[in-house]
Chains A and B, each alone.
Chain A
Amino acid sequence: MYWNETMETMEPARMAELQKNRLQELLGRVYRQVPFYRNSLQKAGILPEDIRTLEDISKLPFIYKQDMRENYPYGLFAVPVSEIVRIHASSGTTGKPTVVGYTKRDIGIWSEVMARSLTGAGVTKQSVIQIAYGYGLFTGGLGVHYGAEMVGASVIPVSSGNTSRQIMLMKDFGTTAIACTPSYALYIAETMRDMGIVPQDDTAIKVGIFGAEPWSENMRQQIEQQLGIVALDIYGLSEIIGPGVACECLAKDGLHIFEDHFYPEIINPVTGEVLPDGEKGELVLTTLTKEGMPMLRYRTRDLTTLNHKQCSCGRTMVRMSKILGRSDDMLIIRGVNVFPSQVESVLLNLGEVSPHYQLIVDREDNLDCLTVLVEITDNLFSDEVRGLETLEHKIKGQLHSVLGITATVRLVGARTIERSEGKAKRVIDKRTI
């Protein structure tokens, strides 16, 4: 039921004491070892010893994704690169990815929180888990992988894609648990229907741990009905560690944040003020134990609420609600973070002036698809079909290399993209999740 009962059911006062001690230790460490933090604390007029209680954390400055970009690639590491055993990266807004580094101990912590997540979802040594997240620079695949191995489950590291093969393996290998994005789970269900496979009869699948994109209760019901499983939400982000920052237990009543490692706050995204339990705001996370690249009050831009009441599962770990939205314009498309500004940077490369553009995100056959409409300009226009097709291919190729996903590019007539107050509406998200 629990992977680490001591931590997962720790009495709140003891947990707060542990967090305070870890926070103080962390502050001393980053102040000594990371010039960025030393500067930002000095600028705020704070010394590590000024933080005497856990509540004092609200005096500390925030760190933003922009800071990671400005310190690319290793500027925020708190250890020499020789101590780093793993590097992951996520897509950045300007073409440069956001880099994260892990020490051996960090990988151990990550495996531990993933093991807690999976155990809470009912995964055991007897389970056969199919990991259909991408493996590679993206944290999804390897993150779940290490946790599942720690639990002792039989791991099928199939990675993402090739759905009919996924289904074949699921049948033949006796998969009992699957980890992937929720939209991919629905796509698998649909493909099974097309193949005449009834998951309840033809497979042993019982539980799915789904994350890397926001999803709703409605989508949970669809997945549970269509696959005949329990569908649970897992939350994480590479900046903090990857998947396993928080995960639902079988009570499905919020995601337990593994707060002995990741200290959460909810803030008003405009004023930065810390909000009480139950109030919706932006999630801010502090990595209390991470060595490689500690994050002090990282602005996740994800909107949620916190709940410190004990869960019916017995865990005392604070719960966050499912993600309720974003406090910036980031889109999550097939689990990949996409900012409209990335598209703009690609289009700016085409000439002196960026043409007007619009991102249309939709879900076809349960898979996210991105269409980029680009208003043709006199500058880009060619009187030859080949010229315009070459332009479309060029934009598509550059978008793929910057975003990491394939987009459909469509040239449209001048002034056909809807403007509001003179500015083109940048994003139309037609997905209902």
Chain B
Amino acid sequence: MIIQQISVFVENKPGTLAEVLGVLKENEINLRALSVADTADFGILRMIVQEPEKAERILRDADFTIKITPVLAIDLEDRPGNLYEYVQKLGTAGINIEYMYAFASIKDAKVVLKVDDLVRAKGIVNGDDPA
């Protein structure tokens, strides 16, 4: 399924992550998934939240630099090899995964992928496109 991811620019210094999360907490935005990509100077905080439009507005109002990116979310069976199967299919179809992050709960697991061809990737994952 295609969902909206919110990315926030964070400087690589103490307290910046807490600032973003603090704003979300104050506005009762619940985080579903999160990952941080970082370099020596800055990081990119990527989040999946329940109400992306609201979160976007709130973060912009708080002067954060943000970007909304459509990404692919896949529900995984919580068993060895399931993620491999999806990634393998996408690779065979020549779809490039720019980045991904995964999270597992007691019942199930999910993975969020940023790919270069979102529509085709969705088709492949759903089994609509034989790749």
- Measuring CB to CB, which residues of chain A are less than 8 angstroms from any residue of chain B? 376-378, 381-385, 388-389, 410-416
Give chain B's interface residue range (CB within 8 Å of chain A): 20 to 34
When distances are taken between beta carbons in the complex, the residues of chain B under 8 Å from A383 are 5, 7, 44, 46, 67, 69, 114
Whether B44 pairs with A413 at a CB distance below 8 angstroms is no
Chain A, residue nearest B39 (CB): A385
B39 contacts which of A382, A389, A412, A414 (Cβ < 8 Å)?
A: A389
A315 to B99, CA, bound (A): 72
Contact between chains at B16 and A413 (CB < 8 Å): yes
Cβ of B101 under 8 Å from chain A:
no
B41 CB–A CB distance under 8 Å: yes
Q: Does B10 lie at the interface of the complex (its beta carbon under 8 Å from any beta carbon of A)?
A: yes
Using Cβ atoms and an 8 Å threshold, which residues of chain A touch B11? 412-413, 416
Which residues of chain A are near B69, meaning CB under 8 Å? 383
Tell me whether A381 and B98 are in contact (CB under 8 A). no
Asked whether B65 is an interface residue with its Cβ less than 8 Å from the other chain, the reply is yes
- B90: shortest Cβ distance to chain A, in Å? 17
User: Chain B interface (Cβ within 8 Å of chain A)?
Assistant: 5, 7, 9-11, 16, 37-39, 41-42, 44, 46, 63-67, 69, 98-99, 114
Specify the chain B residue showing the minimal Cβ separation from A383.
B7
Asked if B66 and A378 make an inter-chain contact with CB atoms under 8 angstroms apart, the answer reads yes
B63 and chain A: residue at smallest CB distance:
A415
Pairs A–B under 8 Å by Cβ, sample size 5: A377-B65, A384-B44, A411-B9, A412-B11, A414-B63
SS class, residues of chain A in contact with chain B: loop
Are A413 and B9 in contact, CB atoms less than 8 angstroms apart?
yes
Please, which residues of chain A bring their CB within 8 A of the CB of B44?
383-385, 388
In Å, the complex CA distance between A410 and B37 comes to: 16
Question: Nearest chain-B residue to A389 (Cβ)?
Answer: B39
Could you tell me if A378 and B42 are in contact, using CB atoms closer than 8 angstroms? Answer: no
Q: Give complex CA distance A289, B10 in Å.
A: 59
Chain A residues contacting B38 (CB-CB under 8 Å) are 385
Q: How far is the CA of A415 from the CA of B67 in the complex (A)?
A: 17
How distant is A315 from chain B, measured CB to nearest CB, in Å? 53
Measured CB to CB, the closest approach of chain B to A304, in angstroms, equals: 40
Ranked 9 nearest A-B pairs via Cβ: A383-B7, A414-B65, A376-B65, A415-B63, A376-B9, A385-B37, A381-B65, A383-B69, A413-B11
Q: Which residues of A contact B10 (CB under 8 A)?
A: 413
Which A residues are CB-close (under 8 A) to B64?
Answer: 413-414
Closest residue of chain B to A413 (Cβ to Cβ) is: B11
Q: Which residues of B contact A385 (CB under 8 A)?
A: 37-39, 44
Q: How far is it, in angstroms, between the C-alpha of A414 and the C-alpha of B42 when the chains are bound? A: 12
Please tell me if the beta carbons of A381 and B67 are within 8 angstroms of each other in the complex. Answer: yes
A152-B98 Cα distance, complex, nearest whole Å: 65
**What chain A residues lie within 8 Å of B9 (beta carbons)?**
376, 381, 388, 411, 413-414
* Bound: A413/B44 CA distance, A: 11
Most chain A beta carbons < 10 A, residue from B44, B66, B69: B44
Least CB distance, B116 to chain A, in whole angstroms = 11
| A91–chain B nearest beta-carbon distance, Å | 27
Give every chain A residue within 8 A of B7 (Cβ-Cβ): 381, 383
Please give, as numbers and ranges, the residues of chain B lying within 8 Å of A414 by CB-CB distance. 9, 63-65
